[in-house]
Structure 1
Amino acid sequence: MKDLTSRQLSALTALILAVPSGLGVWILEANWHYGLGAFVLFFLGSYLVIMTMFERFIFRKIKLIYKFIYHTKASKKEETYYKYILPQKTLDEVRLDVEAWAQKRKDEIEILKKNEQFRKEFLQNLSHEFKTPVFAIQGYVDTLLQGALENPEVNRRFLEKASQNVERLSRLIQDLDEISKLERGELKLHRQNFIVQDLIREAFETLALKAEQHNITFSFKKGSEQGQIVFGDKDKIRQVLINLVDNSIKYGRRNGNTIASVYNTDGKHVLVEISDDGMGIPEKYISRVFERFFRTQEGRGRDLKGSGLGLSICKHIIEAHGYNLHVRSKEGVGSTFGFSLDVARRERQLTAMDDRR
């Protein structure tokens, strides 16, 4: 019954009304011709009346509901097609469509709420990141203008502090510009073959002094020392590795370790991971670590320099290579960030030839 069309429902209702009417006339007149005639007349009359009611009232309202749902305005030709040619939906199908539309609107509202919350947090974090160096510069300059400029023991130190904050502000602006280009898909990759372990060693050497200050040791996981040739943008992957190693120092523990692991997973892909044994990331924050400016409450408690955009930039760079930047972490144990790259083209060709053999 629930799958009947409006015409079928009208016919069934007319039949229910016409049968007792025809039987009544047949019994009263004792003539089956009168009974049959009465049945036909009642059936046709009831069908036309009921169908008209459906068409003019109920389905007109349903049509308005569909127009509201889909924001459509039909032409006269389309109206004729919808009314006379296209099979009409049953009331149960209309109910399902309305429920699906309502669920879709609900999902959209939830997404908008999340986006609004993200926007508020982003603006708040952006304000904080800009405010810190700007206020510092303002403080140093005001102090110099109020007389400290004449004091040789103070003026140079204050100017150096102001210069450091100017550099921090400049890096922040550069990172914002870069992430804007990445999100617009304007990143152009210059792919080439290179040994990924060599880039990791470069990252270790670049940050060696900073690691010494925290007494953190760099090393390769056993079995990962042998060079793996990959195919990608060397400069961009260097940027990713430096950022991941730098984070392992920032959030690592004193006298800790940063370990690099490299695996050839299937002859076509190389997995690169940077691990630390530091503070780790609480489970509730893991899904948000790649958001712009996001830091955990524990991370905010540390005196950390940087734009807060590093992991977000790394994420976009790895996605531009066709892969994802992933993280595994446990609070108080440490964190591991990793990504995959294509094996060097020549190496892939040789592997394919060996597989065919």
Structure 2
Amino acid sequence: MDLKKRMILANASTVIIPMVITVFIAVAFLFIYCKMSGNDLSFKDYQRLSQIKLELLNTETGILQRSPEVVEEDEFQKHLQERLAEIQGELVIIKDGKMIFSSINLSKIDLEKSLDAGNMGRNEPIVIGDMTYSVQSVGLQFKDGTKGRVLLLAPLDQAATNLTRFIIIIGVTFVLLFMLTNILVSYHFSRRILKPLRNLQSAAAEISRGNLDQAIVEEGDQEIQALCRDLELMRLKLKDSVYSQLKYEDNRKMIISSISHDLKTPVTSIKGYVEGILDGIANTPEKMERYLKTISLKAHQVDQMIDDLLLYAKLDLNQIPFDFEKTDIGEYLKLCLLESEPELESSHIKVSLHIDLPQKQFVSLDRARMKRVIVNILDNSRKYMNKEQGEIKILLRDTFTSLIIELRDNGSGVSEGDLPHIFDRFYRSDKARSKGSGLGLAIAKQIVEGHKGRIWAVSHGEEGTSIMISLSKS
């Protein structure tokens, strides 16, 4: 349920519930009262009671509008008596504590009861003979300073009196039920809102302390559930961001460690050979030439490592734009093979290209970057070749949506434990730790993924390894 509907329902409940309960109580009370007393509480009784009270009020007003002495006149007394006779009421006039007129035969006790009821203003009924009266007192001050009082006695029907009390009780009952219902509904309504908000506050406190594993559960009304859902998404993104930050930090430490290790070996060699020259160890032209060639080779290795590192960093940060162009993939692989073939043959490695395509196929390539991929894979196969006569086969075939380039060698192969990691940067097996920068296949992966392609490896055990590249057709 959404919050707006719940508020409307809560406000309506605070009125409807006490009203329904009050009506039920009223009906039950009337039914029980009528059955037990045999009286019938009707609206006519209440209407008659109201008419009597109105007539008494009019009579009292008429008395107050005249001078006090007029109440002693027979004509005025007769007029008042006639008016009260319309409601079967009685009139009693008292001056200086003595009764000077009475339309009803009152004993001293009845008179005292009437005066007491009139003086207290309690409007409590009194019984005189077989009749029940309501007494209304009007105070007078005569010219001679004497105080007087006019008592207006109106007959009461007990059923009408009970009906008045009943209406008052029902009114009070409704007010009390309204207050109680309002408290209960407000408590329940606030609980539905405050409970999920407290849970949100608790989760926010955990997140502020760095605990990003504290899940935020969707609960409460629709608006609060939407808030919980958005905060949970924020928590997950924040968690991913922190995880990425930690991962980048670990990678940075690993890069520094790997660079330090990889550069130390050639730099140490360069330093050793330079010291050998300075110390006069290279005392013949042949030794001097060999020392200088070794220094040149090691310097080239350092330069290559730095170039690979810079290229990988730029690819990782997407700082190198790709220059794509539509390319015949078969002809492109032939050109790559022609450039790499002399170096491979000097290492006693035979390379061949096998194209299994029904027709020419074109792909969108950055020719220079993809050439780096092919060269890195071929160079990696050359480094780990352990056969006297090495062999590398490049196979090109297609599927319904993509082209597959497979570069398969017959080298030492890759163990199952190393296979999932060979495209990680700086990852190399221990037995070949000193060969290369460890970034060749990592750079190849970055470039292939920059072409929206996919690269993976398949091990053939001791028979070699296949590097597979999948590219979308143009």
Matched, 1:186 2:309: no
Q: Could you tell me how far 1:287 is from its partner in structure 2?
A: 3.4
TM-score by length of 2: 0.54
| Unaligned 5+ runs, structure 1 | 72-85, 349-357
SS of the equivalent of 1:171 reads helix
Q: Give 2:216's aligned residue.
A: none
Matched, 1:233 2:366: yes
Match for 1:314 among 421, 441, 444? 444
Q: Could you tell me how far 1:100 is from its partner in structure 2?
A: 6.4
Q: Structure 2 vs 1, CA of residues 277 and 5 (structure 1 numbering), >3 Å: closer, same or farther?
A: farther
Q: Give 1:76's aligned residue.
A: none
Q: Structure 2 vs 1, CA of residues 282 and 11 (structure 1 numbering), >3 Å: closer, same or farther?
A: farther
Taking the TM superposition and a 5 Å limit, the aligned residue runs for 1:1-357 are 33=170, 35-48=173-186, 61=198, 64=201, 88-89=223-224, 110-148=243-281, 150-183=283-316, 184-189=318-323, 191=325, 193-194=327-328, 195-212=331-348, 216-221=349-354, 223=356, 230-254=363-387, 255-266=389-400, 269-295=402-428, 297=429, 300-302=430-432, 305-341=435-471
Q: Could you tell me how far 1:229 is from its partner in structure 2?
A: 5.6
Mapped to 2, the partners of 1:334 and 1:269 lie a distance apart of 25
Which deviates more, 33-42 or 46-55?
46-55
Q: Structure 2 vs 1, CA of residues 161 and 261 (structure 1 numbering), >3 Å: closer, same or farther?
A: same
Q: Could you tell me how far 1:104 is from its partner in structure 2?
A: 5.8
Mapped to 1, the partners of 2:385 and 2:249 lie a distance apart of 33
Q: Could you tell me how far 1:202 is from its partner in structure 2?
A: 1.3
SS of the equivalent of 1:207 reads helix
Higher relative contact order (CA 8 A, sep 6+): 1
**Residue type of the alignment partner of 2:446:** H
Q: Could you tell me how far 1:5 is from its partner in structure 2?
A: 9.1
SS of the equivalent of 1:280 reads coil
Q: For the Cα contact (< 8 Å) 2:406–2:467, is it kept in 1?
A: yes
Q: Could you tell me how far 1:48 is from its partner in structure 2?
A: 4.3
Q: Structure 2 vs 1, CA of residues 229 and 112 (structure 1 numbering), >3 Å: closer, same or farther?
A: closer
**Identity of matched residues, %:** 24
| Unaligned 5+ runs, structure 2 | 34-165, 209-220
Which deviates more, 240-249 or 326-335?
326-335
**Residue type of the alignment partner of 1:47:** V
Which deviates more, 110-119 or 224-233?
224-233
Mapped to 1, the partners of 2:253 and 2:24 lie a distance apart of 75
Which deviates more, 241-250 or 229-238?
229-238
Q: Structure 2 vs 1, CA of residues 104 and 332 (structure 1 numbering), >3 Å: closer, same or farther?
A: farther
Higher strand share: 2
Mapped to 2, the partners of 1:52 and 1:231 lie a distance apart of 62
Q: Structure 2 vs 1, CA of residues 98 and 153 (structure 1 numbering), >3 Å: closer, same or farther?
A: same
Mapped to 2, the partners of 1:282 and 1:7 lie a distance apart of 67
Q: Structure 2 vs 1, CA of residues 65 and 176 (structure 1 numbering), >3 Å: closer, same or farther?
A: same
1:319-355 Cα distance to aligned partner (Å, 9 max, x none): 3333222322244343211324466xxxx7xxxxxxx
Q: Could you tell me how far 1:164 is from its partner in structure 2?
A: 0.8
Q: Structure 2 vs 1, CA of residues 306 and 63 (structure 1 numbering), >3 Å: closer, same or farther?
A: closer
**Residue type of the alignment partner of 1:307:** S
Q: Structure 2 vs 1, CA of residues 230 and 51 (structure 1 numbering), >3 Å: closer, same or farther?
A: closer
Mapped to 2, the partners of 1:217 and 1:332 lie a distance apart of 18
Q: For the Cα contact (< 8 Å) 2:404–2:470, is it kept in 1?
A: yes
Q: For the Cα contact (< 8 Å) 2:457–2:467, is it kept in 1?
A: yes
Q: For the Cα contact (< 8 Å) 1:190–1:232, is it kept in 2?
A: yes
